Amino acid sequence: MSAGAILEVRGVVRSFGGVRAVDGASFAVAPNSITSLIGPNGAGKSTLFNIISGFLRGEAGVVLLMGREIQHLAPHRIVGAGLVRTFQTARALSRLSVLDNVVLAAAGHPGERLSGVLLRRRAARECERDARERASELLRLVRLDRHAGDLAGTLSGGQRKLLDFARALMAEPRILLLDEPMAGVSPPLRAQLLEHILHQRDELGMTFLLVEHDLDVVMRASDRIVVMSAGAVIAEGTPGEIRGDQRVVDAYLGSRP
């Protein structure tokens, strides 16, 4: 279908007790771009996110990450394959420090394996040192470095979203799925977060798939927009194309089937 797409979703279906939350959704995400997934409440966006990231099983359909089928993989394996997601409510680990939160996302840390703790002490120490350096850098990037030693539970909602973002970047993803990154974030922090996202795409070639309700952000930042309604994709295109699309207007104004 779409050659070179980083992420491809084909015909995914998922029901809950007889209701089709996702009804044959299909779209593709090109590398080095920002794609936004929008639609009214109940359109199936979060469910689709959960299916793509492995937290939910689809009943039918295929999810391809760089050409490889991932729909049957456990969430942690999908992370290993290069797809990282954040959650709608920031899942900061409150009883760990801000720095530890980010360090945790380091992949392949020998100190995190029991065998490594016992047998590969030096490698583990080195990896830990490197991870802490890289984590500090990321915290500096999102301007949370002042709070590095604080417990994550002391951060505000918006700060936690930034922490989630830094943490996700730490995992060195090829594609980053952000579930309503702007929700619950104050306007100044929103601007910051948007700036970071754009920076990642422009300077570092990162790919993003966002679920977002803030249409202002969506229109400004997205390269492509995918519109969902009642579990299916009803429109796909650039912000300009979507703005004028009658189907999208109808979906939002509630003339849903």
Contact residues: other proteins, CB under 8 A? 16-17, 50, 53, 55-56, 74-76, 79-80, 84-87, 91, 93-96, 100, 103-105, 107, 109, 111-114, 116-117, 124, 128, 167, 171
One-letter amino acid of 101: N
Question: Nearest approach, Cβ of 171 to other proteins (angstroms)?
Answer: 6
Q: Which is nearer to other proteins, 66 or 96 (CB)?
A: 96
Question: Nearest approach, Cβ of 79 to other proteins (angstroms)?
Answer: 4
Q: Which is nearer to other proteins, 76 or 122 (CB)?
A: 76
Q: What is the rounded distance in angstroms from the CA atom of residue 1 to the CA atom of residue 24?
A: 16
Q: What is the rounded distance in angstroms from the CA atom of residue 160 to the CA atom of residue 89?
A: 9
Length of the chain: 257
Q: What is the rounded distance in angstroms from the CA atom of residue 224 to the CA atom of residue 222?
A: 5
Q: Which is nearer to other proteins, 17 or 244 (CB)?
A: 17
Q: What stretches of the chain show up as alpha helix (H) in DSSP? A: 45-52, 75-81, 98-103, 114-119, 121-141, 157-170, 187-204, 215-221, 239-243, 246-253
Q: Which is nearer to other proteins, 171 or 248 (CB)?
A: 171
Q: Which is nearer to other proteins, 25 or 218 (CB)?
A: 25
The residue written with tokens 């009642």 in the block is 230
Q: Which is nearer to other proteins, 86 or 222 (CB)?
A: 86
Backbone φ, ψ for residue 41 (5° rounding): -60, 140
Question: Nearest approach, Cβ of 153 to other proteins (angstroms)?
Answer: 9
Q: What is the rounded distance in angstroms from the CA atom of residue 159 to the CA atom of residue 49?
A: 23
Question: Nearest approach, Cβ of 89 to other proteins (angstroms)?
Answer: 10
Q: What is the rounded distance in angstroms from the CA atom of residue 46 to the CA atom of residue 67?
A: 23
Question: Nearest approach, Cβ of 142 to other proteins (angstroms)?
Answer: 17
- Residue 58 and residue 12 in contact, taking contact as beta carbons nearer than 8 Å: yes
Question: Nearest approach, Cβ of 206 to other proteins (angstroms)?
Answer: 17
